[in-house]
Amino acid sequence: MTPTIPGTVAVIGAGTIGASWAAYYLSRGFRVAASDPAEGAEDRLRAHVDAFWPTLAALGAEAVGGDAGAPHDSLAFAPSIAEAARGADFVQENGPERLELKRAILAEIEEGAGAEVLIASSSSGLLVSEAQQGMRHPERLVLGHPFNPPHLIPLVEVLGGAQTALESVDRALAFYTGIGKKPIRINREVPGHVANRLQDALWREMFHLVSTGVASVADIDTAIAYGPGLRWALLGPFLTMHAGGGDGGITHFLEHLGPAMREWAADLGEYPETDDYIATMAAGVAAELEGRDWGAVLAERDRLLLGLLAAKAQAPQIP
């Protein structure tokens, strides 16, 4: 059974990702029970929620007063993980990326959460199959990996581990879809999941191009932000390739450019072997941002993202 919307979501771990998730769930009309052992975690969480709220109001916060302010009366901070999970309809776990600690957190969640309640992990690297070992009900653990920041970016990667019930994956996909997210089903566990692996392929080549003097940091950013990145934001890489093939679509595109693409791929670089490249990248970023207010840059980025998301929502033919 998919959790009732609205209901209560337990957010375990209230750092950057957990706070963003908490704000999003509040914006969708849920009650949130949070837990984090760090000193001052509750105050930081509530401050983050307030900071995120204008963006969420612009996205259309539901059932919580719109832009009237974050609903702090719907946000409770529990003294323990088990207490936060007790009575929850769904659990979003956001603990550190350390396997033994992750397993300990999951054990505490199971002390409080009902046996039928889904537990979704935001883990960006750990495998569900490894994390669920030792659980009393491993069949209900799924990956629910967001793209940062979760309160703004719709993507959630969903998959199960070796002991996860197929029904649990289906329930998680339905739940995230029902709260306005854009979940994807990953069919097989791989390190880094899908979106981060795609990013990593680009990161590897951009570090190589800068390190070998082919282009500057600023020009690499321009090449993506004013080139393929604009198209990818609308259709994704496969449909963009399909559009590039004209009447023949992706088949014509690959038949025409496939041989050249194989040659380009053979010439792609590898990650630098040492950390010496980091200073070069940092200097390039500093040069690109010279004379700009980074906070203002991020605020304008979010404003433009909101506009893009709103425009895509009004374009039913865009997948």
pLDDT at 166: 97
**Is the pLDDT at 318 greater than 70, yes or no?**
yes
pLDDT at 125: 86
How many structural domains are present in the chain? 2
Please report, rounded to a whole number, the percentage of residues in the chain having pLDDT higher than 90: 92
Cis bond upstream, residue 272 (ω within 30): no
**Is the pLDDT at 197 greater than 50, yes or no?**
yes
Same domain for 23 and 69, yes or no, is yes
Look up the CATH number of the domain holding residue 176: 3.40.50.720
In a domain, 164, yes or no: yes
SS3 assignment, position 43? helix
The answer to whether the CB of 64 falls within 8 A of the CB of 29 is: yes
In a domain, 3, yes or no: no
**Is the pLDDT at 127 greater than 50, yes or no?**
yes
Domain boundary residue among 138, 162, 185?
Answer: 185
**Average pLDDT value for residue range 76-96:** 97
- What is residue 161's DSSP assignment? -
Same domain for 15 and 143, yes or no, is yes
Please write the tens of the pLDDT for every residue from 95-117.
999 999 999 999 999 999 999 99
Separation in Å, CA 276 to CA 182, 229, 271, 279: 38, 28, 11, 6
The model carries a pTM of 0.92
Same domain for 15 and 106, yes or no, is yes
| Band of residue 58 on the pLDDT scale cut at 50, 70, 90 | confident
Count the alpha carbons within 13 Å of 143 in the hemisphere toward its beta carbon.
Answer: 32
Please write the tens of the pLDDT for every residue from 249-286.
999 999 999 999 999 999 999 999 999 999 999 999 99
Please report, rounded to a whole number, the percentage of residues in the chain having pLDDT higher than 70: 96
